[in-house]
Amino acid sequence: MNTEKIWFVTGASSGLGLALVGMLLDQGHKVAATSHDVDALLDAVGAKLDGRFLPLAVDLADERSVRRAVDSVIAGFGRIDVVVNHAGYGLAGALETLSDAELRGNFDINVFSVLNVVRAVMPRLRAQRAGHVFNISSILGFDGGCAGWGAYSATKFAVSGLSEALAAEMAPHGVRVSLVYPGALRADAGQAQAGHPGAGHPGAGAAPSALGDPAKAARALIQAAEAQYAPLHLFLGRDAFDQARGKIQSVQQELARWREMSVSIGIADERRLVDGRLADERRLAA
């Protein structure tokens, strides 16, 4: 049985993306991977151009560049089975201190590059009536309560929202979507990457042993791609799991505490309240 798949991975020159590409090639899959620097990508992956690996120099913020890249993958491999939108970077700083250029640049790569890839690949996946898209968000795209990371968190919340909508849109066409929330992942120098990128973030100060292993995260994505029922929400790392559970518990507590106010603003609820008061007044008058 042929289990080979064609993978398209963005942001493959470091971290989870690099680990994933190497593991896929070792397992016999064909991989197209994007980077600004193809030579650096080839050196990092250490793969030979033997017809199974296609490195692509792509400006992910440029829709035409992305479409050309997707066309190259189809021309070289014939189809695309799995897409991993991994490209992105962290932007630290209090919201009021960040410039317009910094904010828009972060959204260009973290959000609009994902949309550019989605627009380019979805017609092909829909025509195949098969495919799987992994959009890499962050635990900060689920729980935004981390001071100094509001801009990055906003981009990742955007990725989370568009991914949930994409999953609903593509399910009738046989295309699966998984939204991935990594926690802090170890990088080459032991710095935190992916879910908690950059110095200054709580994850960046953690001991290397407390950070997630990019190779294990890559293996989890491959397992999810092979699963009969793929997860829509996939949290990677003990820190991500615990932070998500804490956020969910906090929201549940607030829902319970403020339930009466939440449900009281509906017209029907208001009428029931008025009718109840009138009934009470009539009973008292009697």
Query: Residue 76: left if φ>0, alpha if ψ -120 to 50, beta else—which one?
Result: alpha
Residue 153 known to be catalytic: no
Selecting among 137, 138, 153, 160, the annotated active-site residue is 137
Per the CB < 8 A criterion, the answer to whether 13 and 44 are in contact is yes
Selecting among 35, 113, 156, 160, the annotated active-site residue is 156
> In this structure, how many other beta carbons lie within 10 angstroms of the beta carbon of residue 199?
10
Residue 137 known to be catalytic: yes
Gyration radius (Cα) of the chain, Å: 23
Per the CB < 8 A criterion, the answer to whether 85 and 113 are in contact is yes
| Cα 38 to Cα 262: distance, rounded to the nearest angstrom | 53
| Sequence-ordered alpha helix ranges (H) in the chain | 15-26, 38-45, 63-77, 100-107, 113-128, 150-170, 214-226, 238-257, 259-263, 267-285
Question: What's the CA dihedral at 196, 217, 181, 93 to 10 degrees?
Answer: 10
Q: Which two tokens stand for residue 221?
A: 């994505």
Selecting among 13, 30, 35, 152, the annotated active-site residue is 152
**Residues designated catalytic:** 137, 152, 156
